[in-house]
Amino acid sequence: MKKGRLEAFTDGVLAIVITIMVLELKVPHGGDFESLTPLLPVFGSYVLSFIYIAIYWNNHHHMLQTVHRVSGQILWANMHLLFWLSLIPFVTGWMGENEFTQATVFMYGMVLLACAIAYFILQRAILHHHESDFVLCKALGKDYKGKISPFFYIAGIIVSFYNVWISFAFYILVAIIWLVPDKRIEKALINSND
């Protein structure tokens, strides 16, 4: 099976996820800047979640550039990832509306951790379905970013019981790590075409 439908479906789901998140931003009734103040927690959680969706979309796009064909296992692994990503609007809205309570920050971290695990499973399914000299295998190398991220999520989840702001800082740290452009796959694709 070719990868086009998988890419198109994933793009559509992620576009809907972003749309749902932005619809959670309610327009204030006042016309002055002070009326925006109550929206700051909701907007802050929206910005971080938007960045996470963008990170997943970018990495998913780059990863699928290396794929020649997809299997049923890859399709299901992709659906598993989309399931967890589709929960981001819920935990984002819950966390923002409740101004970062312990339970909301904990659940936000759990969903982020589940997304990371699901992405890893998708990556492994793709690697399993291709040859050992597959471009993605070469590009991933040691995959330090992919290996360290779950530990930061777990740290954030544990710390949420003691200090939600330090917990939230762990989630921001992971986003910052992934915002730094990752050229591994692009370089591997260029090298494979030479």
Could you tell me the residue ranges of all domains in the chain? 4-193
Structure tokens at 36: 């925006």
Burial label for 190, CB within 10 Å (0-12, 13-18, 19+), is exposed
Model confidence band, residue 173 (pLDDT cutoffs 50, 70, 90): very high
pLDDT in tens, 90-129: 999 999 999 899 999 999 999 999 999 999 999 989 888 8
Report pTM: 0.90
Question: Taking a C-beta distance cutoff of 8 angstroms, is the pair 127, 137 a contact?
Answer: yes
pLDDT in tens, 24-79: 888 888 888 888 888 888 999 999 999 999 999 998 988 888 888 899 999 999 99
pLDDT at position 193 is 62
One-letter amino acid identity for 184?
R
Q: Phi/psi class of residue 120: alpha, beta or left (left: φ > 0; alpha: ψ in -120 to 50)?
A: alpha
